[in-house]
């Protein structure tokens, strides 16, 4: 595999690798470093990539593992997921403020989810991966992924209902 073929192979998912690294590591600089490390690892394995059903899923698994190793080495216990896929429409200022406030609350509760649930929410609801792909990346069976996602969504929903009912979390 030459350099052009490699670039064409990774181009469709390299931004996803960066976004996952950014969500896990928070720092843009650390996410850029992690992305570079993952791409180097893929380059080093370029001759054997054809044995994988999904090079993208393999890359995301490498990214997840690399980032978690980085976090463990720093003894960082507090991961943060930031969701920037906010709508670009121009609703009224009040609606924008309410949306921003709701997004802040969702980010807060996602940050408090167990690590596994946090990552599954990231993969499924933000990155739009299929359950089969998530199961491979997380080394879980699909049923366990669905259960964990359901529990995470239930926690988020209950928190948001409580917040909107009482005005404070």
Phi, psi for residue 57 in degrees, rounded to 5: -65, -40
Helix (H, G, I), strand (E, B) or coil at 118: helix
DSSP state of 11: T
- Map out the domains of the chain with their CATH numbers: 3-74 (1.10.1740.10), 93-166 (1.10.10.10)
Structure tokens, 128: 């739009």
Q: What is the structure's pLDDT at 143? A: 96
CA–CA dist 26, 136 (Å, integer): 24
Q: How far is CA 79 from the centre of its chain?
A: 11
CA–CA dist 163, 169 (Å, integer): 5
Instruction: Determine which helix (DSSP H) or strand (DSSP E) holds 31, and give its type and residue range.
Output: helix 28-44
Structure tokens, 103: 């997004």
Low-confidence spans in the chain with pLDDT less than 50:
76-90, 168-169
């Amino acid at each position: 595999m030459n350099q052009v073929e490699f670039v064409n192979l990774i181009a469709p998912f390299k931004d996803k690798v960066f976004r996952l690294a950014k969500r896990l590591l928070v720092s843009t600089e650390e996410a850029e470093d992690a992305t570079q490390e993952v791409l180097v690892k893929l380059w080093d394995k370029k001759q054997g990539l054809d044995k994988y059903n999904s090079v993208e899923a393999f890359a995301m698994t490498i990214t997840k593992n690399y980032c978690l190793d980085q976090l463990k080495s720093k003894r960082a216990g507090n991961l943060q997921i930031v969701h920037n896929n906010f709508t670009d429409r121009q609703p009224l200022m009040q609606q924008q403020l309410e949306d921003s406030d709701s997004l802040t609350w969702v980010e807060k509760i996602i940050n408090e989810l167990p690590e596994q649930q946090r990552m599954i929410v990231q993969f499924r609801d933000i990155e739009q991966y299929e359950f089969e792909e998530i199961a491979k990346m997380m080394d879980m069976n699909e049923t366990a992924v669905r259960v964990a996602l359901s529990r995470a969504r239930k926690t988020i929903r209950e928190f948001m209902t409580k917040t909107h009912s009482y005005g404070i979390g």
